[in-house]
Structure 1
Amino acid sequence: MSSLCLCYPSFLSLSIIPCPGKLQFSMDHHQLSLLANLAKTSRSNLRHFLAPMGLRLSEHLLIQCSYLGSPPNIQNETRLLYSLFRQIGIEDKEIKLILEQNPSLTSTTLDSVRARVFLLQSAGIKGIELYRLIIKCPNVLTAEEIDYFFHFVLNSLPGKIEPLQLKRLMTATEPRFLVGFDRKVMLLLDHGVPQEKIVHILNNVNLTKAMCFKSIEEIDRTTTFLSRFGGINIIVRRPMILNFDLDTQLIPRVEFLKELSGGDEDATRTLLCKLPAILSYSVEHTKEHVELLRSFAGLTDPQIFKIFVVFPNVISASKERKLLPRIGFLKQCGLNSDDIFKFLTKAPLFLGLSYEENLVHKLVFLVKIGYEYRTRELADALGAVTRTSCDNLQKVIGLFFSYGFSSADILAMSKKHPQILQYTYSSLQEKMEYLTEGMGREVGELLAFPAFLGYKLDDRIKHRYEAKKKVIGEGMSLNKLLSVSADRFSAEKEKSHS
């Protein structure tokens, strides 16, 4: 015999069985609701309702009851939970698993769960991300700590933490670790983080590591220690520094750099302020780079630290792909340790630029205009052109050709003044036009004084030419006109007027 069990929150339980000959029947939500109300009145009314469906009350059997479209053995609140979860996109089998693993959901009011879902959506966690979060961490719907956290995030911060950042936090952090989050944020503000930068910091750290797993005391010690080396400024520029442990990571890394500087705390501060990301590298990583520069390039610790200050990104250059072959190239060009140090402080980008996409093309240009391979002159020229693009270098060489210079002329000028190859094409064009048209001079004068192309056109060249032209005419030496110091030029100008 088929059977139904009808149960209600009032703990009323009625036994119902189908009448003989009518074993198949069903009830929808409306019929079940009406049945529940009738059950609270009288048995005669209930019998009158059941008769058309072929059902009758049983005095002896406890019979199971179900209705179409509803999971078995759930009360009204649970049914409504199913409806809410379905709206989010969660399937019935997933809902069942969630409720089995998190029984607290069934004892939580629907209004409370719905309010929590709305809170998550207000923070930007919607659609598929909300679905994934609830599937993975259903306790986000019941944990009390989450309410206070999200109200602080939504109402007390001058900006918005990115939804994916919040989702990562909810996924990786137990709700109990959210307690005190607001006080930790206020501590950073008390240490000097600008109000407008706090959300930038929170969006660029691992919130679990930097804020939740660390105590207020740990965060306070970290910011106090870093205050000696740029403090809040380096945290704002590189928020992920807060991810690191103070005792096992930050202090050893700072101390190693300080030791490399010869104990100069101010110099260490300068380095950290220039590239806070240098603290992202382990002591072991930094030591390996330092040792290579010591042993292979022959540099001293003060020289290595100076290179770090000039070009701190040397720490990110691959030892095998960049440092070893490029220092090897400089040694092949005849540079000794001191030469290599001077080269790297003047042209540090040589260690960072791509060989295939940058340096090799520049080498080709230099060889084409006459530079010999593995020579000091080639190294000097290559150092100069690290500061310009391949496209600009090609235009500059083309400009010289257009004014009648030969490859040998360009080679001679660049050996005297390598910087001419790194100047911008448009700037060189203006100066050469002014030289030939504004000053009426021969372009060939650049062979004797290519440094002319390095002076500012308006502030130096035009100003001095116009001032001197009235006194000594137009046949003045370009070298004497431009290379004399500003003080001496002013003194000579005043003397000529007296």
Structure 2
Amino acid sequence: MGVDSGKALSQNPCLHTTSLDSIHSIITFLESKGIHQKDLGRIFGMCPKILTSDIKTELNPVFNFLSYDLRVPDQHYRKVINKCPRLLISSVRDQLKPALFYLQRLGFRSLHALAYQDPVLLVSSVEKTLIPKLDFLVSIGFSRADAVGMVLRCPGLFTFSIENNFKPKFEYFAKEMEGSLEELKEFPQYFAFSLEKRIKPRNIAALEKRVKLPLPLMLKTTDEEFEELTRQGCG
């Protein structure tokens, strides 16, 4: 199946004592849920713990969660699992349902979007990942309502590291770009762009041309479009 056995064993030592019959049962179960044979190498490679999971108490509840809580039709299980294999090693009671409840309370209304676009949010710890990201946005000056609005518009904010993403990018934005919180509120996608490869070079180029561009224009445009904007002095 293309699984790195050494890596799998190091991440899941229980595989040393797992029978081939047990592994075959898990493969058969996943295939019965619509997962293709060609998907399994990647899925097991990312989450080797699946190979020693209990079908009745661990794997089956995840598919019940997809069906009853996220309203995912049987024929679409494969799409969701391929998007986020970690769903299969997440406790429904301790992780998936609490995360779904928290996200819905924040204002995430679309089950379709959570299932097919942002399932990684469901495997993120509410206490250790989701809440701290909101708290950081509040700590730099946003109201809680504005912070919530930002993550609703750009759910990817919940996946970014505070230390490696938010802090350095906000520091650069505030000090070097002299930007306002209102700009980030309107364009939270700023944090999705590379600081070294996109934000800094574009900002420096704009400064050299003495052009002030709105964040979306500065960051979302192609190199050719950006060069044309700075040449024309549009801002």
TM-score with structure 2 length normalisation?
0.73
Which residue matches 1:316?
52
Relative to structure 1, the CA distance from residue 394 to residue 335 in structure 2 (aligned partners, 3 Å threshold; closer, same or farther) is: same
Which residue matches 1:370?
107
Aligned match for 2:193, one of 451, 455, 460: 455
Distance in 2, matches of 1:461 and 1:455, equals 7
Which protein, 1 or 2, shows the higher relative CO under an 8 Å CA cutoff with sep ≥ 6?
Answer: 2
Residues 1:434 and 2:172 aligned together:
yes
Q: Once the 2 structures are TM-superposed, how far is the Cα of residue 310 of structure 1 from its aligned partner? A: 3.0
Relative to structure 1, the CA distance from residue 275 to residue 459 in structure 2 (aligned partners, 3 Å threshold; closer, same or farther) is: same
Relative to structure 1, the CA distance from residue 329 to residue 356 in structure 2 (aligned partners, 3 Å threshold; closer, same or farther) is: closer
Relative to structure 1, the CA distance from residue 391 to residue 472 in structure 2 (aligned partners, 3 Å threshold; closer, same or farther) is: same
Q: Once the 2 structures are TM-superposed, how far is the Cα of residue 285 of structure 1 from its aligned partner? A: 0.9
Any unmatched runs of 5+ in structure 2?
none
1:307, 1:345 within 8 Å by CA — same for their partners in 2?
yes
Aligned match for 1:299, one of 16, 35, 57: 35
Aligned match for 1:469, one of 195, 203, 207: 207
Q: Once the 2 structures are TM-superposed, how far is the Cα of residue 389 of structure 1 from its aligned partner? A: 6.8
Residues 1:274 and 2:4 aligned together:
no
Secondary structure at the aligned position of 1:466 is classed as helix
Distance in 2, matches of 1:479 and 1:315, equals 44
Relative to structure 1, the CA distance from residue 414 to residue 451 in structure 2 (aligned partners, 3 Å threshold; closer, same or farther) is: same
Aligned match for 2:20, one of 283, 288, 295: 283
2:8, 2:48 within 8 Å by CA — same for their partners in 1?
yes
Which residue matches 1:328?
64
Distance in 2, matches of 1:390 and 1:339, equals 30
Distance in 1, matches of 2:5 and 2:197, equals 36
Which residue matches 2:159?
422
Secondary structure at the aligned position of 2:29 is classed as helix
Q: Once the 2 structures are TM-superposed, how far is the Cα of residue 327 of structure 1 from its aligned partner? A: 1.9
Relative to structure 1, the CA distance from residue 404 to residue 342 in structure 2 (aligned partners, 3 Å threshold; closer, same or farther) is: same
Q: Once the 2 structures are TM-superposed, how far is the Cα of residue 353 of structure 1 from its aligned partner? A: 3.4
2:86, 2:123 within 8 Å by CA — same for their partners in 1?
yes
1:239-250 to structure 2, matched below 5 A, reads: none
Read off the aligned partner of 2:105 and give its amino acid letter. Answer: K
Distance in 2, matches of 1:290 and 1:347, equals 17
1:308, 1:314 within 8 Å by CA — same for their partners in 2?
yes
Larger Rg over CA atoms: 1
Which residue matches 1:383?
120
Any unmatched runs of 5+ in structure 1?
1-260, 262-267
Q: Once the 2 structures are TM-superposed, how far is the Cα of residue 422 of structure 1 from its aligned partner? A: 1.9
1:330, 1:340 within 8 Å by CA — same for their partners in 2?
yes
2:26, 2:55 within 8 Å by CA — same for their partners in 1?
yes
Q: Once the 2 structures are TM-superposed, how far is the Cα of residue 465 of structure 1 from its aligned partner? A: 1.0
Q: Once the 2 structures are TM-superposed, how far is the Cα of residue 459 of structure 1 from its aligned partner? A: 4.2
1:45-56 to structure 2, matched below 5 A, reads: none
Q: Which has the higher helix share?
A: 2
Q: What whole-Å deviation, never above 9, does each CA across 1:7-36 have from its counterpart, x for those lacking one?
A: xxxxxxxxxxxxxxxxxxxxxxxxxxxxxx
Distance in 2, matches of 1:366 and 1:392, equals 12
Identity of aligned residues (%): 20
Q: Once the 2 structures are TM-superposed, how far is the Cα of residue 375 of structure 1 from its aligned partner? A: 1.4
Relative to structure 1, the CA distance from residue 288 to residue 364 in structure 2 (aligned partners, 3 Å threshold; closer, same or farther) is: same
1:155-234 to structure 2, matched below 5 A, reads: none
Secondary structure at the aligned position of 1:275 is classed as helix
Relative to structure 1, the CA distance from residue 336 to residue 444 in structure 2 (aligned partners, 3 Å threshold; closer, same or farther) is: farther
Secondary structure at the aligned position of 2:217 is classed as helix
Relative to structure 1, the CA distance from residue 314 to residue 424 in structure 2 (aligned partners, 3 Å threshold; closer, same or farther) is: same
